Structure 1
């Protein structure tokens, strides 16, 4: 049977992102299900969980004060944390994309930078065309899940985030780094595949390496997972 992959995206808009995510899950051998309600009111069996990009996570989630005014989505924060509870309790694989990486890190006990160095971001484009075409290099670290997918070393990705991981959560490690050593990916140290990337592989379905990333994730969701100790 195809593994059921639940995913959470922005509640309004971003239809293209949702459609591409659903498509690439299907192409990878999974059955996509969009999760719009908490598990208590929308009980579904899921074999994997993907958290997509979107508005910033409220700093109170990692015991911080607001340093930079931004748009927040408290309802989505609650929804994602509830489904992460299910994933952690049932040893379900998790993939976080951009905001999803940040939420995975926060859920596991890490925190975030609320503002990146302006010298790093000042030349980044801001419009949709620039976002679609912009690429930057990141370094995939050896002996990680991402290294098995992409190979260790440089990788060009589509990433324009203004917030980032500060302290990696206990039980996790950095899997890729960017300019100045900033964390660009994390992964759990354990038997269950849980990782996050600060770029958007769902928007690069034409690249074989990005499709391979989703296939490896769906394959992990198909394999029985060991229980957390």
Structure 2
């Protein structure tokens, strides 16, 4: 019997327009990275029923919250900045229900891009809504002309991100204009861009294996080191599953 863990991942959503039906989709890099890391990806379409979401999560060992458009700041009590291009409400509703249940059950989770921002917000942190205004000295974190735009990274050595990248100059794929401002309680920053923008967080809670990257280790410009983040995550999920089995036994 395979001991590969089942890793859920949310899917994006695009509403019907003109002669195009509504559809749900996911960039292949996410599930390909989980497969390469020896996990089994399970793609979850948007749902708005907490009972159904809970039933799905019961069958999974871990979860990857994917990136996408922007979280709507109005859902967290803030005004809508002109630069914000919100997720479709169908997806955001589902994502927030998923994240709340994942946090409640302390399921291992990895958030990427918008997924990391949601992890931080759901746990009590907040966000910069537009780096060009909030941190005008920041280097470019998004290039509309280059989907593979990269910038350097400073990592904390005693962390999962530190284990992956080690010493030396690191460059990661970046495409965001929002970023973490205040870090949620129970989490610490484990990587920043040299301009100070937070690029990775990890849980300090003993009962929750959770991490997030603002950069995109799944994208087409990802390096072999980037892919190791998924290997570390899948290994951590498997370790957690084995611990749970020992407790039951």
Pick the TM interval, shorter chain: 0.7 to 0.9
Does residue 63 of structure 1 match 2:77? yes
Shift in Å, 1:224: 2.5
Residue 69 of structure 1: how far off its partner (Å): 4.3
Identify unmatched segments of 5+ residues in structure 1: none
Which 10-residue stretch deviates more, 175-184 or 108-117? 175-184
Cα offset, 1:47, TM superposition: 0.8
Larger radius of gyration: 2
Q: 24, 27, 32: which is aligned to 1:23? A: 32
* Ranges of 4+ aligned residues in structure 1 off by more than 6 Å: none
Aligned-residue Cα RMSD (Å) equals 2.4
Alignment map for 1:84-99 (pairs within 5 Å):
84-99=99-114
User: Which is further off, 19-28 or 165-174?
Assistant: 19-28
Encode CA deviations 1:16-72: one digit per residue, 9 max, x unaligned: x53221122112111101111445235321111111111110112332122334221
Distance (Å, rounded) in 2 between the aligned partners of 1:19 and 1:71: 22
1:219 is aligned to 235
Distance 2:232 2:70 in 1: 28
Aligned residue-pair number: 223
Indicate how the Cα distance of structure 1 residues 90 and 205 shifts in structure 2: closer, same or farther if over 3 A, else same: farther
**What CA distance in whole angstroms lies between the structure 2 residues aligned with 1:218 and 1:123?**
28
Mapped contact 2:64–2:111 kept (Cα < 8 A): yes
Report the 3-state secondary structure (helix = DSSP H, G, I; strand = E; otherwise coil) of the residue aligned with 1:40.
helix
Q: In 2, are the aligned partners of 1:137 and 1:157 still within 8 Å (CA)? A: yes
Say if 2:215 is the partner of 1:199.
yes
Q: Deviations over 1:187-218 (max 9, x none)?
A: 11123221111111111476221221111101
Contact 1:24 1:205 survives alignment (8 Å) = no
Distance 2:142 2:163 in 1: 29
CA contact (8 A) 2:69 2:114 kept: yes
2:60 corresponds to: 46
Structure 2 unpaired stretches of 5+: 15-22, 245-249
2 CA distance for matches of 1:9 and 1:83?
Answer: 11
Moved more, 2-11 or 71-80: 71-80
CA shift in 2, pair 1:217/1:205, >3 Å = farther
- In the alignment, the residues of structure 2 paired with residue 32 and residue 50 of structure 1 have an alpha-carbon distance, to the nearest angstrom, of 9
C-alpha distance in 2 between matches for 1:215 and 1:26 = 10
TM-score, normalized by length of structure 1?
0.87
Q: Secondary structure at the match of 2:68?
A: coil
State the distance in 2 between where 1:123 and 1:176 align: 14
